[in-house]
Each structure stands twice: as C-alpha cells, then as structure tokens.
Amino acid sequence: MKIIILDGYAENPGDLSWEWLSDYADYTVYDRTPKELIIERAREADILVTNKTPIGAEVIDACPDLRFIALLSTGYNVVDHAYARKKGIPVSNIPAYSTKAVAQLVFAFILEHYNNVGLHSASVRCGEWTANPDFCYWKAPIFELDGKTIGIFGYGSIGKTVAGIARAFSMNVIATSPSHRAGCDGDVRFAEPEEILPIADIITMHCPLTAQTQGMVNAGFISQMKRSALLINTSRGPVVNEQDLADALNSGRIAGAGCDVLSTEPPAADNPLLTAKNCFITPHIAWAPFETRTRLMDIFKGNIEAFIKGTPVNTVN
C-alpha cells in the first residue's frame, strides 16, 4: 500500500515527523505539488493526502488504486468529495484542532490595535525614549478592553472560545448565529447583525464560507459599523469584499482591521488590503503554532489508523 502526501510542508516544515507512516505503508511526502504534476504524483496512491492541493474528479479517475483521501485541514473544498463518494472513496478531514489557536490570534490583533505594542517598541528602538524629556509618552491613543463590546459573527467552537476570552477582559459580548436567533448563553447575548454592527467596538468573523456569507463584509455592512470599530477576519478570505474594506480603511470609515485570511492565498501583489491603512495581515498562521500542528498530526494519524481498520472517521462524504 502507498500513501502519497501532495503538500506536506505547511503542516510539517521539519519540526514534526512523518516516520510513523511507515508502520502502515510505503509513503512519499512532497513539500508542494504544482497543478501540472498532481496526477503524475498521485496515480499510484492507495491513500492520497492533501492540504490545499486540489483533488478533482480527473485526479480521482487517474488513480486506479485510490481507496481513501485524507485532508491535513478542516476545510475540504479542495476535494471533489461528492465524486469521491460516488466512487466509494471516503474523505476525512481534521476537525476542531485549532480552536484555541485561532482565538489566540484574534486577541493578538485586538491587543495590537488597542495597545500599539509594535509602534511603541519600534519608537523606543529608534531612540525616541532616550531622547524624551518625560518618563513616558505614547505615539497613538491606547484604550482598555474593559467595557468594550465585541460582536461575534458565528458562534461555533471558535466563536465560543473568543467569547470566553472576551469575558475575561470584562468585555460585553454579543453574537449572531443561525442557530441562536435570540436569548443568551451565560453572559453572551444573541442578536441580529443590524443590531450588533452599530454598537460593537470589535467585529470578529467566525462564520463558514457559504453562498450567504461570501462577500458579507461589504460597503453596506461596514457602513453600519462604528467609525472607531476594528474588524477581524480569521474565518475565510472571501467572507470579506477586500476592495470595500480597503476603501473603508483608507477613508477612515472604520479604525482598523486584522486579517489572517485573504480571498486568494498567496495574495496577488495588487490586493488592495496590502496597502490599506491600519490593516494588520498575517499569512494564514492562526493554525500554525507547534502545539496546534502536533494536534493536527495526531488526528491525521487517527484518521489513517481508522481507515486501515475499516472504520473511517471524520468523514465529510
């Protein structure tokens, strides 16, 4: 049996091990696979593994021995899972491994925006403190989180974790979710978006990418927000209309944004958010802490073991 991993580098750039795979099969790990080499590299696989390399019907048809497709991610849109089902090939993903890490990055964005740590550290390193006549100074306003209102769009496991951290900062938490139209979950109140947007100091997106959420954060959405508000997106890039967000930031319509995901990754050089004012962008790293990737690897191992035993788990098709 052969296990072929098409793009293993992001999950394991060298600080984890693939050696355990040898207990189950011969294996080959490619750091990355360009589109033109997918079929050539995949065709002998019994188990095909991908993170972001697309596996469409044509790839599945080109692999006569393919029995299982394993993802190194939660999202599974890169696999034609419906076609795989027709061919009797289970597809498994990695659920709920990065919840705490994503919530942590949300607050990294929030704290950077409210405390301006990077700005002040750079100022000190440039000699501004040693030349200052006062024992302290600040280059931009600094605010407390205590009493601020955070609006959470999507109240799954990540949204709930963000809410818990927010309450530890004594913030007011209000959320919107298709499964929670009204009422409360402890100190978290549920409301419709049109009620949340005008009162939230921070809006953080944790909704899945669907036909309804694609482009949800657009000019109309932003026009309802406070001018002092911060927008954070760690969900999916296409949830945000990037030109509308860039226009809002450049015009001062909102105060700032933090994005870990963009509509195309890596982004094109002319992506408007790359040059927008007060926009922090990280290269899709919310899932990347060592402990988080270790957890992903453990779940992946469990998915492989379960399939080999004849009882696949975490299947999406």
Q: What average pLDDT does this structure show over 85-112?
A: 97
pLDDT value for 232: 98
Please tell me the predicted confidence (pLDDT) of residue 218.
98
- Least-confidence region, from 34-43, 102-111, 184-193, 265-274: 184-193
- With 0.85 as the threshold, say if the pTM is over it: yes
Mean pLDDT for 214-226 is 97
The whole-chain average pLDDT of the chain stands at 96
Q: Is 236 a residue of the active site?
A: yes
The dihedral of CA 8, 14, 15, 18: what is its sign? positive
Average pLDDT (257-282) is 97
Q: What is the mean pLDDT of residues 5-19?
A: 97
pLDDT digits (tens, 9 = 90+) for 130-176: 999 999 999 999 999 999 999 999 999 999 999 999 999 999 999 99
| pLDDT band at 222; cut points 50, 70, 90 | very high
> Which residues 6+ apart lie within 8 Å of 21 measured at CB?
3, 27, 304
Q: Write down the catalytic residue from 41, 120, 236, 293.
A: 236
**pLDDT value at residue 179:** 78
Is 265 an annotated catalytic residue?
yes
Beta bridge partners of 256: 230
Q: In a 10 Å sphere around its CB, with 0-12 CB exposed, 13-18 middle and 19+ buried, how is residue 15 labelled? A: exposed
User: Which domains, ranges and CATH numbers included, belong to the chain?
Assistant: 2-96+290-308 (3.40.50.720), 99-281 (3.40.50.720)
β-pairing, 256-259 vs 172-176, is unpaired
The C-alpha angle with vertex 216 and arms to 210 and 217, in degrees rounded to 5, equals 140
pLDDT score, position 181: 66
Distance CA 251, CA 63 (A): 52
Residue 8 pLDDT greater than 80, yes or no: yes
Q: Taking residues 235-258, what's their average pLDDT?
A: 98
Is the pLDDT at 204 greater than 70? The verdict is: yes
Does 185 have pLDDT greater than 90?
no
Q: Is 284 a catalytic residue?
A: yes
The residues near 97 (Cβ < 8 Å, ≥ 6 apart) are 74, 287, 292, 295, 296, 299
Residue 209 has pLDDT above 80, yes or no: yes
Q: What is the mean pLDDT of residues 212-232?
A: 97
Dihedral (Cα; 152, 76, 27, 306), 10-degree rounding = 80
Least confident of 51-60, 178-187, 200-209: 178-187
What are the C-alpha distances in Å from 227 to residues 57, 193, 204, 279, 287? Answer: 47, 17, 15, 15, 30
